[in-house]
Amino acid sequence: MIKLKSPEEIELMRAAGRITAGARALAGSMAVAGVKTKEINSAVHGYIVSRGAVPAFLDYGGFPASVCISINEEVIHGIPGDRELKDGDIVSVDVGAVKGGYIGDCADTFIVGRASPEAVKLVEVTRQCFFEAMRCARVGFRVSDISEAVQKHAEANGFSLVRDFVGHGVGTQLHESPQIPNYVETPRKGPDPRLLRGMTLAIEPMVNAGGRGVTTRKDGWTVVTRDGSLSAHYENTVLITDGEPEILTVTGDTRHEA
């Protein structure tokens, strides 16, 4: 069941979104050579808690940290630890915060120092995939229109889309209906709902430089590309309105900050 949010609920989601976006920005500012991923996790945890919120990912399904940090061939769900970032790494940071019972969810991929042209292009294309999807995040469009926009832009640039994990609705739960694949299912296996005012969606392209196949490491969490190619991730929580879609995971007042 898709939950449409009331004006009061949307205000609560904006509050959660601002904290989540601030945590993402903090993590990005720390993505420099020599920093350990556990140091980023600690800082993000402290930031979220200091603003009266709760890290959405900590203990979610048993996840042991407050932020997912995935490096290079790691796609999502990387566990922070003693690994030090080094020049040329690309670092995907996925973070969520709960405030007033509502959740913000966002991600970005940051470049440490100077990366290869392929890595830079991958990060840029992944980010643009999200904004291509935003063109379809309007009343009357279908979920599959978002999926198609992401897929077309990624594949036109020579990249592939992860199919094992998808975007989703978000609200009082981290994962709500509908599921939002980053590709068009042929034939479609599930429903393809039209977008309605009050939907809040986590749109999150996950793009690989090589093949689309992924596997999970022995830690039970870290998802990596099967062929060892680079992967990038970009995500915002988006509100469907009567007009322009609104990005809720922003740090300021602008509706289109990312």
Which tokens hold the place of 110?
Answer: 């940051």
Domains of the chain, by residue range, sit at 7-247
φ and ψ at 10, to 5 degrees? -65, -40
Q: What is the CA radius of gyration of the chain?
A: 17
Distance CA 121, CA 36 (A): 25
Which tokens hold the place of 193?
Answer: 């709902």
Report the chain (258 residues): mean pLDDT per 10 consecutive residues: 97 98 98 98 98 98 98 98 98 98 98 97 98 97 98 98 98 97 84 96 98 98 98 98 97 50
Quick one: pLDDT at residue 132? 98
Quick one: pLDDT at residue 253? 42
One DSSP character per residue, 113-143 reads SS--HHHHHHHHHHHHHHHHHHTT-STT-BH
CATH 3.30.70.100 fits 7-247, yes or no: no
- CB proximity list for 163: less than 8 A, separation 6 or greater: 181, 182, 183, 212
